[in-house]
Amino acid sequence: MTIAAHTLGCKLNFAETSDIISRFINAGWQQVDFNDTADLYVINTCTVTAIAEKKCRNAIRQATSANPDAIVAVIGCFAQNAPTEIAGIQGVDIILGNGQKHHLLEYVERFIADRHNVSNSELPSTNPEFHLAFSHADRTRTFFKIQDGCDYFCTYCAIPFARGRSRSATIDETVAMARKIAASGAKEVVLTGVNTGTFGINNGETLLQLTQQLDKIEEIERYRISSIEPNLLTNDIVDFVASSRAFLPHFHIPLQAGSDKILSLMHRRYNTDFYHRLLEKIKHVMPDACIAADIMAGFNGETEDEFEKVKQFVESLPISYLHVFTFSERPNTAVLKLDGRIAVHQRREHSRQLQAISDLKKQQFYKSQQGRSRRVLWESTVKENMIYGFTDNYIRVRQPFTPQSKQLVNTTTEFLLNHFIASDEVFE
C-alpha cells in the first residue's frame, strides 16, 4: 500500500507529518510523492489565515481527484476547526483533528476493514497527549517538535482552539529523542513548538534548563530556537545562547504589532518598549545576530495615524527582516467582538508597506555582514551547479559545485561573505 502526504503551515506540522508517515512505513506502507497515484492521501492542514485554509481546500481537491479509489484523510488544525465543512467535500473519507491525528494508522486500518467514513475532532481539554516528533528538512537540518499547544488566547488566534493547552515531554524524554536525532546524522536541529517558551510548564521545568542539557549533545553541532514569545525570551536564555557551544545567534521573535494600543487589543503580553529593549539586549551580547519578527498588518485599530507610529517603531528596531501577514479574522476568535475594523484594501496596503521596510532591513543586515567570515553548514541541494548552505546567523550562501563539494555536504566550514546576489538573497 502507498501513502502520499501534503503538509501546510508551520514547521511543527511538518515534524508531525514525518512522525505519522514513519508509523505507516513501520507498518509496511511505502511513501510516494503527493503528485503520484497513491492508495492513501494525507493532508495535514493549517488554519492560521484564510489563505492557508484556501490552500488546504485546493490540496484536498487535488487528492480527491487524483485517484477515485484512494482513501483521503484530512488531519490537523483546519480539520480540527472546520470538520463539517471538510465533510462536505466529496471524496474525503477520514477527518481527524489534532487530538487524534497521531492515531491515523489505526483509523485507516479500520476504514479499510469497514469502509465507514470517520470524523473525530475531539480535543481533550485536560491531559491531551503530547507526541515528540521530528522531520528532516534535508540530510543536514531537522525540525524537532518539543512543545505543543498554547494557553495565551491572543484575540486574533485560533491556534489554542486547534491545538489545546501548552504541554511538552520532560527534559529527560526530550534529550533522549535529541540523541536519536543525533544518531541519524543531523548536524542542525531547530527547536519548534506553538509557544516554545512555555516548554516544561506541565512538568515544572523550563526551556532554559532544556537548552542547557541539549547543548551537551556533542554530535549536534548547531541548534536554532524557532519562534519564541518576547516575554518568554528571558535575559538568562539570551545570555546562555551567547555563551553556549551550539545555540546559534538567530532569533525569531513575534512582534505582531508596533503599537501599544494594538498590542493591548491583541492581548499580547509585552509592550513596544519591552520589545525594543529585548532586541537591544540581544544585539549587545550578539552584535551579528539575525533577528526575524512576525508582524500583522491591518489589525483592528490600525488607522492611518496609528500605522505611521507602527512604521516608525519597526524602522527603529535592529531587526534583520519581517514575516508580514495580512490580518484576517478567524472563526470563534475574540477579535470578532472588537471595534475598529480596518478595510481589507487598507490591510493590504499596510502589508505592502511593511514588506518594503522588511526588504530594506534585510539589505541593511546583509550589507553589515559583507566581508565577514561566518561558519556555514553545507546542504545537499545543488542548483545551477551551485552548492548551498546557511551561516550561523541565517544567511543563505552558495559556491560553485565541484567534484570535491560532495565531501562538504553536512559539514561546516568558515565562509567569506564577499558577493551579495540580491535577486536570490544569497551570498557568494
Q: Which chain residues interact with ligand SF4 by CB under 6 A?
A: 150, 152-154, 157, 159-160, 194-195, 229
Closest alpha carbon to 396 in 371, 355, 367, 366: 366
Q: How far apart are CA 240 and CA 210, in angstroms?
A: 11
Rg (CA), the chain: 22
Question: Phi and psi at residue 324, in whole multiples of 5°?
Answer: -100, 130
Between 155 and 364, CB nearer to ligand SF4 = 155
Q: How far apart are CA 166 and CA 330, in angstroms?
A: 20
Q: For residue 277, count other CB atoms closer than 10 A to its CB.
A: 12
Between 147 and 412, CB nearer to ligand SF4 = 147
> Rounded to the nearest whole angstrom, what is the least distance from the CB of residue 269 to ligand SF4 in the complex?
8
Residues 6+ away with beta carbon under 8 Å from 179: 217
Q: How far apart are CA 83 and CA 45, in angstroms?
A: 11
Between 150 and 238, CB nearer to ligand SF4 = 150
Taking each helix axis from N to C end, the angle separating 304-316 and 272-285, rounded to the nearest 10 degrees, works out to 20
Between 127 and 153, CB nearer to ligand SF4 = 153
Between 83 and 160, CB nearer to ligand SF4 = 160
Q: How far apart are CA 248 and CA 270, in angstroms?
A: 24
> Rounded to the nearest whole angstrom, what is the least distance from the CB of residue 297 to ligand SF4 in the complex?
15
Between 151 and 172, CB nearer to ligand SF4 = 151
**Within the chain, how many helices (H) and strands (E) appear?**
13, 19
Give just the sign of the alpha carbon dihedral 193, 194, 200, 206: positive
> Rounded to the nearest whole angstrom, what is the least distance from the CB of residue 164 to ligand SF4 in the complex?
11
Q: For residue 352, count other CB atoms closer than 10 A to its CB.
A: 12
Q: For residue 399, count other CB atoms closer than 10 A to its CB.
A: 18
> Rounded to the nearest whole angstrom, what is the least distance from the CB of residue 152 to ligand SF4 in the complex?
4
Torsion from C-alpha of 155, 152, 316, 423, nearest 10 degrees: -80
> Rounded to the nearest whole angstrom, what is the least distance from the CB of residue 336 to ligand SF4 in the complex?
15
> Rounded to the nearest whole angstrom, what is the least distance from the CB of residue 148 to ligand SF4 in the complex?
10
> Rounded to the nearest whole angstrom, what is the least distance from the CB of residue 198 to ligand SF4 in the complex?
9
> Rounded to the nearest whole angstrom, what is the least distance from the CB of residue 162 to ligand SF4 in the complex?
9
Between 81 and 369, CB nearer to ligand SF4 = 81
Q: How far apart are CA 292 and CA 125, in angstroms?
A: 33
Between 154 and 220, CB nearer to ligand SF4 = 154
Between 157 and 295, CB nearer to ligand SF4 = 157
> Rounded to the nearest whole angstrom, what is the least distance from the CB of residue 234 to ligand SF4 in the complex?
16
